[in-house]
Structure 1
Amino acid sequence: MITIDNIKEAKKNLEEIRENTPITKAPLLSEMFKSEVFLKKENLQLTGSFKLRGAYNKIANISEDKRAKGVVAASAGNHAQGVAFSASKFGCEATIFMPEATPLTKVSGVKAYGANVVLHGENFDEAYAAAIKFKEQNDCEFVHPFADDDVIAGQGTISLEILEQIPDLKQIIVPIGGGGLISGIAIAAKAINPDIKVIGVVASGARGMKESYKSQTPIDSASVRTIADGIAVRDVNPKLLNIILDYVDHIVEVSDNEIANAILFLLEKHKLVVEGAGAASTAAIMHGKIDIEDSKVCAIVSGGNIDVTMISQIIEKGLVKSYRKMNLIIKLRDKPGALTELSNIFRDCGANIVQIDYDRDSVQLEFGDAQITMSLETKGEEHQKLIKDKLKGNGYRFKQI
């Protein structure tokens, strides 16, 4: 049984290493929903995630004799970095099992703290099974990423910080993977204020905890697929489910597109680099999954360890979706001056060409034709309509992609 006293003790253990991460108001979201929306920026925590709290508290509570045998963990990335950092502080060896598809930035982060990394399996659950086998073979301590009382208590210290700064908070919005974060936060929050609402957010591609919450029994996902790798957990832990059933008020889900929108929003409007799991709570608010009107809410931005290639993809798709970028395939006669005539149309419309590819050899083209694939910087939906009207008016055949 985890209590508020356990969480307060965890806070003492963490005093020397944790960052009391900023809690700031999100003015655009607040105005949009006629409420007060705050962001708890755990992406600015040491190691880039809240996971440091639980991992450090767990290792701090392991006896020196057991620590001397080393620790082992399984993680999609953030818990791994938390364990690696904490083990280095206590001078013990750490071996981390991570899924093979773990982003390079997270693998590199773990190795930088001196841990041994073993890439194994397609998802967290397969890496977890390998880590348990390693534990049994080497008689070392396993640091569970979520189903451990010391880990849960460490995560609960986030609630203490939030409610110290915003004592009249009405709702806390928390991403859910395995459930350790929301369990710790909910236990602490409800102990301080029984009337506060704690809302969980899962990714649509990893709905196990939401389905289990609804049916009040563990239901594992058949498979998981989401850009939010930090909450891509397939199997539901019965212990965590029981805590969530007791303390959490509601669970909603967000799609990968909604998560990507939130990542771009936080990057562009709040200058925050946030990973998929870290953006899930903001995504739920942005896309109306939670009733927050005339309320005071705090979204947990749980981590910022996102691969730069993923950021690039999200920015590209976000620019297209917001009509700030336009991709076209255009057919024209393959003759001198044809490309100049086409580019003059874009010049007259005030569109900037940022990329162009000229193909005259495709077997799909008729003799004498060429195909242009180009990307344009545009200024919104009306601007793109003007460009398309001009192309049609000048007899061009084209397709927007």
Structure 2
Amino acid sequence: MVDLSDIRDAAARLQGTIAATPLERSRALSGGPVGSVYLKCENLQRTGSFKIRGALNRISRLSDSERGAGVVAASAGNHAQGVALASALEGTAATIFMPEGAALPKIAATESYGAEVKIAGSNVDEAMAAAKDFADTTSAMLIPPFDNHDIVAGQGTVGLEILDQLPTTSTIVVSLGGGGLLAGIACAVKSLAAEHGRTIRVVGVQAEAAAAWPASLETGRPVALAGMDTMADGIAVGRPGDIPFELIRRLVDDVVTVSEEALSSALLLLHERAKLTVEPAGAAAAAAVMERPRDVAGSNGSAGGDTVAVVSGGNIDPLLMLRLLRHGLSAAGRYLHLTVRIPDHPGALAGLLEVLAAHDTNILEISHVRTGRRLGAHEVSVDLQVETRGADHCRTVIAAIGAAGYAVHVEEGDREV
């Protein structure tokens, strides 16, 4: 079992190589039961995530003969880059197995740190199987992403930094996949809090579409999911790790889940208000603060203490970023998809556009459709994608279109309207 002395030893090994990432107050997230909210910006860490901490702690402890045989890992992105850089720093060769469809920027970044990338399998589980086969045939040391004593201890150094930077912390919110980061942070802060006779609440956050932990904790052992479907691929882990599980079961106060809409809304808020580039998994803690503040705060809410949301990573494909920002705009009520039926005669479209202009909407896309099952003989359908100022503005615009005599349909994805 990992303890505070292991984490302190890891911090000593990492000192001078791993950055102490900033802790920044977020006015946009602060208030209500969560009190003042601070962002622990691990997206600004070397390689763009916390993963370098555990990887470097593990590889730095290898013997000379183990280093000579090299290391191997499997990952779709963040762990791959962490292992690649840690190996370069420690002077050992690294082979990284990545699944088909892994983001090209993540492959390129991993190779830029000096690792050899091999594409294997259609998902991380299949890539891991290939990595294990490689380890068996070459004697390379397998560096797991979370289920390892040294990995958990390395990730726990984030907790030491948080309490050093903000001693008044009362709640820490952490994204949760395999469990290495949450287990390490919980071990560090719970132990330090006990030394000073105080309590700190620790909350894990999963995407509700990839949530293996609630059922596992209820059952009392790691339980594998049958399937997952979330934008937060960095925390889409089908089965909790055995080593993290015992720590999390014993130390973590609560595990909550967040919707896909909350993830994209948090990503948008962090981009706009905090000026941070964040991947969906990295935004999970902020999403929980936004969507479930009372659950996050728990009994600490009445004390109005300081809450820290760990922004765990920022490695995101620019093309995916564009899609997710668009999804976030829709989830925040600032991007609206409408279908409006209008009479098929000159000036009808101009009349609809006048209504939209009068209510300060910005048209992003428009198409004119003359055929359809629901259209009358003298009707046309206008498909509109418009930019608004938020959910209240959306409702005002839709009401105005209806009041002008038009039949309007709002696409199902725009739930806030």
TM-score normalised to the size of structure 1?
Answer: 0.91
Shift of 1:74: 1.3
Shift of 1:54: 0.7
Over the matched positions of the two proteins, sequence identity in percent amounts to 39
Shift of 1:385: 4.1
Contact 1:352 1:376 in 2 (8 A): yes
Shift of 1:380: 3.9
Aligned partner letter, 1:75: S
Q: Distance in 1 between matches of 2:20 and 2:178?
A: 24
Structure 2 residue aligned with 1:322: 332
Q: Distance in 1 between matches of 2:321 and 2:221?
A: 36
Give the length in aligned residue pairs.
401
Structure 2 residue aligned with 1:2: 2
Contact 2:81 2:110 in 1 (8 A): yes
> Given the alignment, which residue of 233, 239, 263 partners 2:237?
233
Contact 2:171 2:201 in 1 (8 A): yes
Structure 2 residue aligned with 1:45: 45
Q: Distance in 2 between matches of 1:189 and 1:89?
A: 28
Shift of 1:363: 7.8
Q: Cα gap change, 1:334/1:142 in structure 2, threshold over 3 Å: closer, same or farther?
A: same
Give matches, 1:123-142, under 5 Å. 123-142=123-142
Q: CA RMSD in A?
A: 2.3
Contact 2:265 2:332 in 1 (8 A): no
> Given the alignment, which residue of 306, 317, 323 partners 1:307?
317
> CA deviation digits over 1:172-191, x for unaligned, max 9?
22222111111221222222
> Given the alignment, which residue of 293, 303, 308 partners 1:298?
308
Give matches, 1:22-41, under 5 Å. 22-33=22-33, 35-41=35-41
Structure 2 residue aligned with 1:153: 153
> CA deviation digits over 1:257-294, x for unaligned, max 9?
22222212222221112112211112222222322422
Q: Cα gap change, 1:34/1:151 in structure 2, threshold over 3 Å: closer, same or farther?
A: closer
Contact 1:107 1:117 in 2 (8 A): yes
Aligned residue for 2:273, secondary structure, equals helix
- Gaps of at least 5 residues in structure 2 are 412-417
Structure 1 residue aligned with 2:250: 246
Contact 1:125 1:234 in 2 (8 A): no
Alignment of 1:217 onto 2:227: no
> CA deviation digits over 1:341-366, x for unaligned, max 9?
33233223332222212334668756
Shift of 1:170: 2.0
Shift of 1:92: 2.4
- Gaps of at least 5 residues in structure 1 are none
> CA deviation digits over 1:135-183, x for unaligned, max 9?
1011111111111222111111111111112223222222221111112
Give matches, 1:248-397, under 5 Å. 248-288=252-292, 289-290=295-296, 291=298, 292-293=300-301, 294-360=304-370, 369-397=379-407
Structure 2 residue aligned with 1:167: 167
Alignment of 1:207 onto 2:224: no
Q: Distance in 1 between matches of 2:64 and 2:21?
A: 30
Contact 2:21 2:41 in 1 (8 A): yes
Shift of 1:10: 1.6
Q: Distance in 2 between matches of 1:381 and 1:249?
A: 34
Q: Distance in 1 between matches of 2:38 and 2:322?
A: 27
Aligned partner letter, 1:125: D
Contact 1:202 1:210 in 2 (8 A): no
Contact 2:6 2:153 in 1 (8 A): yes
Aligned residue for 1:259, secondary structure, equals helix
Q: Cα gap change, 1:393/1:272 in structure 2, threshold over 3 Å: closer, same or farther?
A: same
Contact 1:156 1:181 in 2 (8 A): yes
Aligned residue for 1:300, secondary structure, equals strand
Deviates more, 1:353-362 or 1:55-64: 353-362
Shift of 1:43: 0.6
Shift of 1:223: 1.6
